[in-house]
Structure 1
Amino acid sequence: MISFKAPSNIALVKYWGKKGEQLPANPSVSFTLTHCYTETSVAYQQRSSLAIPPTEKFSFTFNFEGEAKPSFHPKINTFFQRILPYLPFLTDYHFTINSHNSFPHSSGIASSASAMAALSLCLMQVAQELGMNFTQDQFWQQASLLARLGSGSACRSTHGSIVVWGQHASIPHSTDQYGIPYPLPVHPIFDQYQDTILLIDKGQKQVSSTLGHNLMHGHPFAQARFAQAHQNTDKLIQCFATGDLETFIQVVESEALTLHAMMQTSIPYFILMRPNTLEVIQHVWQYRKSTSIPLCFTLDAGANVHLLYPKKYKEEVQKYIQDVLAPYCEGKHYIHDCLNTNP
């Protein structure tokens, strides 16, 4: 039995728009989290020893949280089809896949990134056991590449604390093919940077990621958005080096709002924020102005709010969240997490 944990990640510079086969239209930079993760185990045995119909190209069973989940099979089947050129043994074995999240499935946190990253790491370990040889760097790069073919942002969840995915002129070794640990200087203020996830809406996403990315094809503002992502990545590089939290906040919040602006101005168009999302944003702005504490927000493609802040402000910010912001969350639920410094 092979097991791996892979954490969720939250993008600071957002990936929105694809080209080719799961390649990003612009670079992205993310924080890898610590406590929100998927743990997956894989067992495998030769198909020739089992009574499996030869008409089935791939053979696997998938259990989530201890229960069989056949509804997940089409996505895994598609994933196996995409990665078969890299792992040709996939057609020769039956795989028993068991997976669970450290966070509730109904929590409103996207789990596809951590799930596909964990599964990719398991399959890479299977490849090694079957005689495919990789250096340590090759193992992590290939795992990230495979994860990307399952879910784009999953390539940022295999390895690293701050991760870059997508080619950028100022970041050595950055590539569209896989995520890399951020290779440039990082100021100590970002050590164990905090992320509290406010669960505004635990429901299923209104727009699938695939549909959302496809809306960038022919979007009237797409090219300007892609250029903006490169510019904001350059700004973030300077923030990481110097600890400039004022510019960091501007970049992170602008990126979040731009992501939602792209969806609001596409055809068809969507509004994924909820009234309580906007209420929280207004409260964050007021709190930052009145206290000078560098609390900021970011958003994924949904209603939930990620609150980012340095560890040294943890006690006062978390009290503020409990006293003021929790009532805006569904069931007053939120999750405290932080940047993974030991990935």
Structure 2
Amino acid sequence: MTEATFIPKSYKNTLDHGSVSFKAPSNIALVKYWGKYGEQLPKNASISFTLSNCFTKTQLSFQKKEIQEFDFEVYLDGKREEGFEPKILKFFERVEVYLPFLKTYSFKIETSNSFPHSSGIASSASGMSALACCLVEMEKRMSKNLSTALEETKQKASFLARLGSGSACRSIEGDLIVWGAHEHIEGSSNLFGIKYPYVVHDNFKNYQDTILLVDKGEKQVSSTVGHNLMHEHPFAAQRFKQANDNLSKLIPILENGRLSEFIKIVEQEALSLHAMMLTSEPGFILMKPNTLEIINRIWTFRKETNSNVCFTLDAGANVHVLYPEGEKVSVLNFIKTELKPFCKNGEFIVDMTGSGAVPL
């Protein structure tokens, strides 16, 4: 399959005006993607848990117009956010060939997040996936092909979301999503995310993710800059191999339910991601002192209680505390008594795996 697969031939129907709404979740990678090439293509495959409670709601209103140009406004929680519009313009420019109707409509993009603004949780994955779903639904109405296979619809939404934010392609479906071509995962592709196609043990069903909000400010170094620093990184090739090898190792672990082996890989991946940041040129640090304190306390708690709790990190200071559903009571008690003091204003978000984007 190539990019040309997603270029439509023609539309049978013209829409004068209307609106489409979707809710799409964020996701947390277990095997990390860090480093890309071409147009938002990953240098290694990744796998993520789709979340449930951290999501973006987007309503896309459209009005037919005469002048052929991009025309849109973005609103967050009812307030115009012109600062977001350059990123949407870049997205529209990238996807126009796959959505040739974009210049023939005026759009109003109204969006809101379930998590606090500037909470340190990346909203690009949930936001771009929600917008991509809205655009694909609009195209579906224009093609009058309402019976289009659901799989094809989700595939195009994932493909488009990737062009807005790489990890957004993993937020269309749930609960385990693979993005990036991998020799041991059938159907995997650099162009879009797919549902993990193999057996998953009950230990990983309804997996819990409590997100500790260590830092709520804007990151010192953006993910885009961080990805670009991988181009000349001295350890890049070995890191890409490590990630793909870890994904291979996860396949039997996900089937047999060995939580101890799962923990080793997930935590190694988190620390490897930040090791790449530390050893970039220039190097940078996104973790905070409280990030390290939380990690050490998780290690101590796990050793003392034989818990299966573990951590992972995104490209930021916040800590995602992962644990099986059966340990929810004990781990949440641990978080409230020992880890909460290291969160900014004591804030954390209790989440779990989810099923992906849905229309509203």
Q: TM-score range by the shorter chain?
A: over 0.9
Contact persistence 1:191–1:341 (CA under 8 A)? no
Contact persistence 2:50–2:356 (CA under 8 A)? no
Identify the residue that residue 352 of structure 2 maps to in structure 1.
338
The one-letter code matched in structure 2 to 1:231 is D
Contact persistence 2:173–2:355 (CA under 8 A)? no
Q: Where do residues 98-177 of structure 1 align in structure 2 (5 Å cutoff)? A: 98-131=110-143, 133=145, 134-177=148-191
CA–CA separation in structure 2 for the residues paired with 1:167 and 1:277: 32
Identify the residue that residue 188 of structure 1 maps to in structure 2.
202
The one-letter code matched in structure 2 to 1:36 is C
Contact persistence 1:192–1:341 (CA under 8 A)? no
The one-letter code matched in structure 2 to 1:97 is I
Structure 1 residue 57: Cα displacement: 2.3
1:44 and 1:252, CA in 2 relative to 1: closer, same or farther beyond 3 A? Answer: same
Contact persistence 1:194–1:339 (CA under 8 A)? yes
What is the number of residues matched between the two proteins?
337
Identify the residue that residue 27 of structure 1 maps to in structure 2.
45
Are 2:19 and 1:5 equivalent residues in the alignment? no
- Give SS of 1:100's match: strand
Match of 1:69 among 58, 72, 81: 81
Match of 2:91 among 50, 73, 79: 79
Structure 1 residue 342: Cα displacement: 7.1
TM-score of the two chains, using structure 1 as the length reference: 0.97
**What per-residue deviation string (whole Å, max 9, x for no partner) do you get for residues 250-299 of structure 1?**
00000000000000001010011111000000000000000001000000
Long gaps (5+) in structure 1: 49-53
- Give SS of 2:277's match: helix
- Give SS of 1:147's match: helix
Q: Where do residues 270-285 of structure 1 align in structure 2 (5 Å cutoff)? A: 270-285=284-299
Are 2:34 and 1:16 equivalent residues in the alignment? yes
Structure 1 residue 160: Cα displacement: 2.0
- Give SS of 2:101's match: helix
Are 2:259 and 1:245 equivalent residues in the alignment? yes
Match of 1:257 among 259, 263, 271: 271
The one-letter code matched in structure 2 to 1:255 is E
CA–CA separation in structure 2 for the residues paired with 1:100 and 1:246: 37
Identify the residue that residue 218 of structure 2 maps to in structure 1.
204
Identify the residue that residue 40 of structure 1 maps to in structure 2.
58
- Give SS of 2:300's match: helix
The one-letter code matched in structure 2 to 1:168 is H
Alignment RMSD (CA, Å)? 1.1
**What per-residue deviation string (whole Å, max 9, x for no partner) do you get for residues 63-90 of structure 1?**
1111011111111000000000100000
CA–CA separation in structure 1 for the residues paired with 2:339 and 2:250: 27
**What per-residue deviation string (whole Å, max 9, x for no partner) do you get for residues 92-151 of structure 1?**
011111100011112111100000000000000110111164421111000000000000
Identify the residue that residue 340 of structure 2 maps to in structure 1.
326
- Give SS of 1:98's match: strand
TM-score of the two chains, using structure 2 as the length reference: 0.92
Structure 1 residue 207: Cα displacement: 1.1
CA–CA separation in structure 1 for the residues paired with 2:97 and 2:45: 25
Contact persistence 2:125–2:168 (CA under 8 A)? yes
The runs of at least 4 consecutive aligned structure 1 residues that moved more than 3 Å come to: none
Contact persistence 2:214–2:343 (CA under 8 A)? yes
Match of 1:97 among 90, 99, 109: 109
CA–CA separation in structure 1 for the residues paired with 2:306 and 2:347: 26
The one-letter code matched in structure 2 to 1:85 is V
CA–CA separation in structure 2 for the residues paired with 1:126 and 1:299: 35
The one-letter code matched in structure 2 to 1:111 is S
Are 2:236 and 1:218 equivalent residues in the alignment? no
Are 2:318 and 1:300 equivalent residues in the alignment? no
CA–CA separation in structure 1 for the residues paired with 2:26 and 2:132: 14
Contact persistence 1:164–1:180 (CA under 8 A)? yes
Match of 1:290 among 304, 329, 333: 304
Contact persistence 2:21–2:60 (CA under 8 A)? yes
Identify the residue that residue 51 of structure 1 maps to in structure 2.
none
Structure 1 residue 341: Cα displacement: 4.8
Contact persistence 2:174–2:353 (CA under 8 A)? no
Identify the residue that residue 9 of structure 2 maps to in structure 1.
none
Identify the residue that residue 4 of structure 2 maps to in structure 1.
none
CA–CA separation in structure 2 for the residues paired with 1:71 and 1:324: 38
